[in-house]
Structure 1
Amino acid sequence: MSEESRALSPVFERLLAVGFAHLAPGAVTVLTARSEEGQSLFEPPVSWHAVEEPSWEGLAASATRLLGQGPLLLVPPWLRHAVSRSVRGRAGARFVYDDVLSACRPAGAGSAMAVLTPVELWVSDSPRAAELRRTLAEHWDTLAVLYGTGLIPQIHRSYMVAAVFLKAKQAHRPPMKVMRMPHTDDVASVEKDFEVLLQRGGGSTRYGYVVRELPPPGESLDFDRHHPDVVSQQADLAGFGSLTTLGTLYDAVPRINMTADAQWITTEEQPGAVRLLGGRDVLRDGSISLATDESYWVKAPPRYLLRPGDLILREIHGPHDPPGLIVAGVAEQNLPAAASHMTIALRPRAGTTSQQIRLVAQFLRTPLADRLVGRSGAHITVKRLLELPVPQPDDALATALDDLAAARQRLETWAKEAETLLGSAFTQKTASQARDRIIDQGRGLRQRVEAATLLDDLGHTVRTRFPLPVAYRWRETEARMSAGDQQAAYSAILETAEILLCYTALLALALAWEARIPLGSTAAIKEKLTGGRSGPGLGDWAAVLQEAAGNRQLRGLPHEHPIHGIRSLLASQDAADARWRLSKRRNDDAHLRRLDPIDLPPAIAEAFTDLTLLAERARFLADSPLWHVTETRWDSLTQTAQVHYRELTGDHPVVPTKTVLSSRNDLEPGSLYLRDASHEIHLLRPFLTGQVCRVCRAWSTFHADLVPKGSVQLKSLEHGHVLPQPPDTASALSAVGLL
């Protein structure tokens, strides 16, 4: 082999030189041991002094001696100690470098060296590797870790190597720099990146990062495990509800080692034989491949047998595989089967819910799960997998997952019905019968799809799924715009915007009062109510929503609380801008600064665009229906209440009465409630009330508008009619701080 063919890759050689220059300046000595074949792993740079020990047993003592002269690059042999194949297959064996490194000692306080080893030593969770890292930490601080592939000529290009810079242990551990070398010919950019990284006290560069809060000595130093981006994303997982480890939800299923358990391997024809699933049998689409002539079969003890609902993952993932773990669910048609040591099989524990199972299976396929498990090594360990943090759904997310699963099942049922109907086109006795069957039975399917497609239309969603006050106003807006009366259409758009903000602001006030969180914006509303001249308007409702968006106490309420949807309405800049433009138009219109008829068409288009944006941001209202409780019957024996209510969803107040059981005995007949996505209900009285309007005789929703001389007047959200109220209404408004 020529010297050129045994030379280190240019980028690796340069990074080693940069590392020594920053961390251990001086003339570098390369220390190796002669191999059985009489060759070394690589040819050291000509500017570095090379020392070769006749055998590995003398490396540790020689390293200590040479460290007294200056920095050292130690390249111990990567051979295993000789052991039986059965021991190697089950527990692995010690490497020669284990003994060399555990015996290495600094020559003095300034001793520094770099160690060149397989990546496994630094990233593996095996007890052997963790113990060696702890032993090294007793005498050395880890200053920098370089990972890369294709760096040493005699090692396969896919094999990952680690170069770790160590310095004699100090009283305070310095920050650690970690870098993964990219595959590029641009040596200068990589070298510059490493130089910048070595000079930084925190943060990250393009190819590396600084670890300021150092992990325990025995913990894995996998590149992704401590990357700031991964740490941040892991913390963000709690936004799903909470975090736990995979091991609290799943148990590992025993696997069959094809070397150590070779006596169990048999043929498919043998009685009791089950299929042995390997890594290649777990497909990227989340399924398990069909058996082929190359499949293995075993006679496995019962504890190895897989069950429906188990998860099975590929145990090996290459550095160039797409991000995300390759995992499949075990179904009845995949059985009987057992898992080989080239996979990891997991079984849900007894208390694991279906929602948790669905969320975990989806999370495991994400790039984040892949990075948390670790991509520096080729193998995924069971220990690391069971320690993987996984998100837990809260009540709202669990309900949403159930609803999605039900929706998917319904859609799959429709698809099967359509396939069956299409397949029957030529199975009838006559073409006429086939034609009539497809037309008649296909009509229902077509209508279901058409109804579902309408939900993509925001207008249809608002008219049919939004609460009555908003849906009613939206319908009137669409009707006015289609009728051609431009001034009426323009006014309807602005009034709908006001009612949308009014309704959501009243919800915010009611929910904040329920949580005993005061809002300063109620002061302006109180002043207008008692002023007796003009009630609260669009600006006041916007002020409530803007305060709710930034209120720290509201932000601290549980994730599933309905206030968070309301807080998001005006949180974005585009929504705030749209609200401001609509407020200005509404103010101009109310003060008779009317537009010229020529300017009305573009103004209508612009205003409706802004209204549409706000309605889009308010889609959460479709999941929070307005309830009018009409009657309650409490059963003291069962501690449940039978609640009769009307769900005021859509643009018409005439809706059927429904019944539900509740554990609450404080529900008020005649009052309005908000039911949130977790099926909890929240009292809206006296911020929002409902009754039959004395003016138009239609059932309507009302809010307090004026309190002249102590007499409360209510205004309808649907049509603006004003009604006087009895004196006790004022006491209710006083109780919640509006009077």
Structure 2
Amino acid sequence: MTDSSTPHPPRHDTFRLLLELAFGTLSDTDPVVVTTNDEMTAHLKHEWRSCLAESAGELPDIANTMLGTAPVLLIPPWSRSSDTLAAAAEGPLRSAHEIAVAGIRPEGDDALLAALLPASALTSPRCREFREIVDYSWQPCLVIFAAGVFDGVHQLFDTAAVFWRPRSSEGQPLKLFRFPGREDEKAVESDFRRLLSRASGTGKFGYVLPGPPGSGESLSIELHDPATTARWSELDAWGATVPMKDLFAFPAPALHRTAHRHLLHDQRQDGSVRVVAARDLRHDGTLAGLDDSSRWAEVPPDRQLRAGDVLLRRMFPPRARGNLVVVEVASEDLPLAADDSVVTLRASGHLGGPQRLVAVLFLRSPLVRKWAVGLSVANLTASVLRDLPIPQPDTALAVTIEGLEAARSQLESWKDESEALLASVFEEESAVTARRRLLESGRQLRMRVDAAALLDDFSHRVRTRYPHPIAYRWSEVQVHLSRGADEAAYEAIVETAEVLLCYTALAVLSLSRGAGLRLGAVDGIRGRLSRGGSHGPGFGDWAAILNEAAESKAFRRVPDGDPLKDFSRVFSDPEAASARQRLAARRNAKSHLRRVDALDLPSAIDEAHADLMTLLEHASFLADLPLVHVTGIRWDTLRGTAEVDYQELMGDNALVPGQQRPYSSSGLEIGSLYLANEDGQLHLLRPFLLRRRCPICRSWETFHVDNTPDASSVTVKSLERGHTDTDPSLRQVLEHVGLVE
């Protein structure tokens, strides 16, 4: 591409140094450079021996001869081959550099072949068959990617120096390195030296793979980056990954920019629709407005875009910055049609709103950009996109996403309402009417915002969104603290911590039983209850259950999204564990009549309150797992669904309205408590937690087993007020679940 007298780019010398270091590490002999004087051949400034071929067709024979004596650095022309050369080529090879490399065979087990190639030869799907041919005889051991190192070559054009060894059954590590564009070249050299000496691991600009990918696979440094592959492997945490072709269809573009240019108009005409091109897709996910370059055409309705269609810019320069440009078509954008510079994705009928939203967000992610860069694709065609794995949310995540979308829509509605109200201040004919309207409507909007702002107050969230026993106890803490730092406030804090642990531990017992998981900590509770007496399970037992669930290998295998996962690790964080231990010490001191001195009480209250806040914050997932009391059920045999009457016992108010919901099973118990998962499933909490009317205060409260005074009776205690009741009928049920022998 240049002659020897042409000055080289500044990066050229560093690139040549990297080649020298590579040959010096991989071989004890200087290479022979095999090249041509073809104008499409990159010129490398070097002092190695050269063999100059008169044509590209002679390169394989010369390289094969030289490999018997020394390593070979092949610098072929980067051009389409002649018809004569193509006719002699193997299979689909059509580029001079592909034909030259494919014609070289190993000479001895220690042969070393290197070549300077367009990076696309190693990464592009179009060159897969070339790589398969080469991989039959050779296996890569080192690849250096670089841009802007040759004069006469565009600075964004990606070059690759690839080093091959003869293929062997044992395989060998593959080292991939990128010469970055904006880094100190001394730092690049140092990192490359470290990479050459590595047997494994990752450096700043490169890494080592245990072996090369499969035959014909891309050698892209972006595609195989360990950090990127780890991100891909984590996608299953969303629920599942499916190929894009299972989620979207790929409608053909309505118009071709060149073939149909005679159909395009500069001005809107009757029956015409706007034609969007790639330049109309903006990085912020919206369509650009009309301008002087906008075009219109008459397009049949079945070829026009639809609301919800997802548009991508077809062209994707691999070295360009930024993620893929992805736009969703809104109903207000229509009517529209797309030309062939745009890829259209049309959601399948079964794809719900949350699933489509996750797919769109994923397409805009850096992970997909790296995937596109790794493929070295210039065109995001249907054939390229159809097998791209797309994460799809499980039911719990879908519900959360729907909630976020609803919240966003509601906030936008309030914003629009507020702006319309302000804009109309002086539009009323009567100033009196305008003033009254502003005051009345403005009051309602302000109340909405004030109510929403309360959710930023953590104390308010606990009082209104946590399960009733915990929220009720927390409200008591707030009432006592408002009256001053006294013994009642201190006692309320410690008791609230115990109720929080009791509720979460009993939920773990119930959920683990449903999952077929056993907890050894239950043995201590069973022994204490079976022996009878006045002392039942307490703070230490609840902590033991939660500790075992957090440390058990069986519990770690519980999938994300299962409520047992959140309950089992709720207080495993070191900060939460320390707070729990301090509160347990306070609870033990109180039970052994070791009271806090009056002078120390204010600081003790502050410290205990901070620890309780820590535990409550770590248990914030409870707000998404409602405590439900089933009050009625009607099963429809024909439809196979049930209509369930229930109360959602969340917040500090025990008087809550009844609600109804459909359910897919008739196996629910009227009068029992359930935990409602985010996917809508109800998990039975009986007999670990019970809902019953208290005989002392006559209110409905949440009870748990407290002790078994004798062989026939069972005492239960209220989480809300600590009142007790007896129920002999519970004995048999407790034996069934293993709490009593």
TMscore range, shorter length: over 0.9
1:718 matches 2:717: no
**Aligned-partner residue type, residue 626 of structure 1:** L
Distance 2:635 2:138 in 1: 71
1:479 matches 2:479: yes
Q: Who is 2:591 aligned against?
A: 590
1:600 Cα deviation from its structure 2 partner: 1.5
1:587 Cα deviation from its structure 2 partner: 1.3
**Aligned-partner residue type, residue 206 of structure 1:** K
Within-5 A mapping of 1:265-414: 266-269=264-267, 275-295=274-294, 305-318=304-317, 321-375=320-374, 377=376, 379-382=378-381, 383-414=383-414
Residues 3 and 598 of structure 1, relative CA distance in 2, 3 Å threshold = farther
Q: Is the 8 A contact 1:653 1:699 kept in 2?
A: yes
Q: Is the 8 A contact 2:534 2:708 kept in 1?
A: no
**Aligned-partner residue type, residue 426 of structure 1:** F
Deviation digits for residues 575-614 of structure 1 (CA, Å, limit 9, x no counterpart): 1111111111111122222222221112211111111111
Q: Is the 8 A contact 2:627 2:650 kept in 1?
A: yes
Residues 306 and 118 of structure 1, relative CA distance in 2, 3 Å threshold = farther
**Aligned-partner residue type, residue 450 of structure 2:** E
1:255 Cα deviation from its structure 2 partner: 4.4
Q: Is the 8 A contact 1:313 1:327 kept in 2?
A: yes
Residue 701 of structure 2: SS of its match in structure 1?
Answer: strand
Q: Is the 8 A contact 1:373 1:380 kept in 2?
A: no
**Aligned-partner residue type, residue 36 of structure 2:** A
Distance 2:125 2:101 in 1: 18
Residue 246 of structure 2: SS of its match in structure 1?
Answer: helix
**Aligned-partner residue type, residue 9 of structure 1:** H
Q: Who is 1:419 aligned against?
A: 419
Distance 1:171 1:320 in 2: 35
Residue 360 of structure 1: SS of its match in structure 2?
Answer: helix
Q: Who is 1:494 aligned against?
A: 494
Residue 144 of structure 1: SS of its match in structure 2?
Answer: strand
Q: Is the 8 A contact 2:41 2:78 kept in 1?
A: no
Distance 1:24 1:333 in 2: 65
1:160 matches 2:135: no
**Aligned-partner residue type, residue 64 of structure 1:** N
Q: Who is 1:236 aligned against?
A: 234
1:275 Cα deviation from its structure 2 partner: 4.5
Residues 172 and 272 of structure 1, relative CA distance in 2, 3 Å threshold = farther
1:445 matches 2:445: yes
Residue 253 of structure 1: SS of its match in structure 2?
Answer: coil
Distance 2:186 2:375 in 1: 24
Residues 277 and 105 of structure 1, relative CA distance in 2, 3 Å threshold = farther
Q: Who is 1:6 aligned against?
A: 8
**Aligned-partner residue type, residue 227 of structure 2:** D
1:133 Cα deviation from its structure 2 partner: 0.6
Distance 1:350 1:670 in 2: 40
1:527 Cα deviation from its structure 2 partner: 2.4
Q: Who is 1:506 aligned against?
A: 506
Find the partner of 2:25 among 22, 31, 41. 22
Q: Who is 2:86 aligned against?
A: none
Distance 2:720 2:452 in 1: 27
Residues 201 and 257 of structure 1, relative CA distance in 2, 3 Å threshold = farther
Q: Who is 2:582 aligned against?
A: 581
1:429 Cα deviation from its structure 2 partner: 1.4
1:161 Cα deviation from its structure 2 partner: 0.7
1:524 matches 2:527: no
1:386 Cα deviation from its structure 2 partner: 2.5
Q: Is the 8 A contact 1:265 1:296 kept in 2?
A: no
Residues 245 and 203 of structure 1, relative CA distance in 2, 3 Å threshold = farther
Deviation digits for residues 447-492 of structure 1 (CA, Å, limit 9, x no counterpart): 1111111111111111111111101100000000001152111111
Deviates more, 1:142-151 or 1:183-192: 183-192
Residues 433 and 284 of structure 1, relative CA distance in 2, 3 Å threshold = same
Deviation digits for residues 337-392 of structure 1 (CA, Å, limit 9, x no counterpart): 44444443222223322221110111111111211233573625433432222211
Residues 213 and 731 of structure 1, relative CA distance in 2, 3 Å threshold = farther
Distance 1:29 1:256 in 2: 54
**Aligned-partner residue type, residue 313 of structure 1:** L
The number of aligned residues is 725
Deviation digits for residues 286-334 of structure 1 (CA, Å, limit 9, x no counterpart): 0121232234556678776433222122234456654432211123444
**Aligned-partner residue type, residue 433 of structure 1:** T
Q: Who is 2:141 aligned against?
A: 143
Q: Is the 8 A contact 1:373 1:384 kept in 2?
A: no
Q: Is the 8 A contact 2:124 2:375 kept in 1?
A: no
Q: Is the 8 A contact 2:257 2:339 kept in 1?
A: no
Residues 371 and 427 of structure 1, relative CA distance in 2, 3 Å threshold = same
Distance 1:580 1:4 in 2: 74
**Aligned-partner residue type, residue 12 of structure 2:** S
Q: Who is 2:175 aligned against?
A: 177
Q: Is the 8 A contact 2:631 2:645 kept in 1?
A: yes
1:615 Cα deviation from its structure 2 partner: 0.9
Q: Who is 1:89 aligned against?
A: none
Residues 320 and 481 of structure 1, relative CA distance in 2, 3 Å threshold = farther
Within-5 A mapping of 1:121-270: 121-126=121-126, 129-184=127-182, 186-255=184-253, 261=259, 266-269=264-267
**Aligned-partner residue type, residue 223 of structure 1:** I
1:420 Cα deviation from its structure 2 partner: 1.3
Q: Who is 1:550 aligned against?
A: 551
Distance 2:31 2:4 in 1: 23
Distance 1:23 1:163 in 2: 14
1:257 Cα deviation from its structure 2 partner: 8.8
1:428 Cα deviation from its structure 2 partner: 0.9
Deviation digits for residues 492-519 of structure 1 (CA, Å, limit 9, x no counterpart): 1111011011111111111111222111
Q: Who is 1:48 aligned against?
A: 48
Residues 274 and 670 of structure 1, relative CA distance in 2, 3 Å threshold = closer
Deviation digits for residues 65-93 of structure 1 (CA, Å, limit 9, x no counterpart): 2222211111111123479xxxxxxxx99
Deviates more, 1:102-111 or 1:485-494: 102-111
Deviation digits for residues 619-655 of structure 1 (CA, Å, limit 9, x no counterpart): 1111111122223333444443332222211112222
Deviation digits for residues 520-546 of structure 1 (CA, Å, limit 9, x no counterpart): 111121223234132211111111112
Deviation digits for residues 414-469 of structure 1 (CA, Å, limit 9, x no counterpart): 11111111111011112222111011012111111111111111111111111111
Residue 675 of structure 2: SS of its match in structure 1?
Answer: strand
Q: Who is 2:651 aligned against?
A: 650
**Aligned-partner residue type, residue 706 of structure 1:** N
- Structure 1 portions without partners, runs of 5+: 84-91
Residues 632 and 184 of structure 1, relative CA distance in 2, 3 Å threshold = closer
Q: Is the 8 A contact 1:641 1:664 kept in 2?
A: yes
Q: Who is 1:87 aligned against?
A: none
Q: Is the 8 A contact 2:140 2:212 kept in 1?
A: no
Distance 1:40 1:513 in 2: 71
Distance 2:113 2:667 in 1: 73
Residue 351 of structure 1: SS of its match in structure 2?
Answer: coil
Deviation digits for residues 148-177 of structure 1 (CA, Å, limit 9, x no counterpart): 111112212111111111122323332211
1:227 Cα deviation from its structure 2 partner: 1.3
Q: Is the 8 A contact 1:34 1:56 kept in 2?
A: no
Distance 2:63 2:298 in 1: 52
Distance 1:657 1:333 in 2: 40
Residue 374 of structure 1: SS of its match in structure 2?
Answer: helix
Residues 647 and 257 of structure 1, relative CA distance in 2, 3 Å threshold = closer
Percent identity of paired positions between Structure 1 and Structure 2: 39
Distance 2:514 2:13 in 1: 67
Distance 1:257 1:133 in 2: 36
Within-5 A mapping of 1:599-638: 599-638=600-639
Deviates more, 1:411-420 or 1:557-566: 557-566
Q: Is the 8 A contact 1:6 1:154 kept in 2?
A: no
Distance 1:152 1:451 in 2: 64
Residues 539 and 446 of structure 1, relative CA distance in 2, 3 Å threshold = same
Q: Is the 8 A contact 2:485 2:601 kept in 1?
A: no
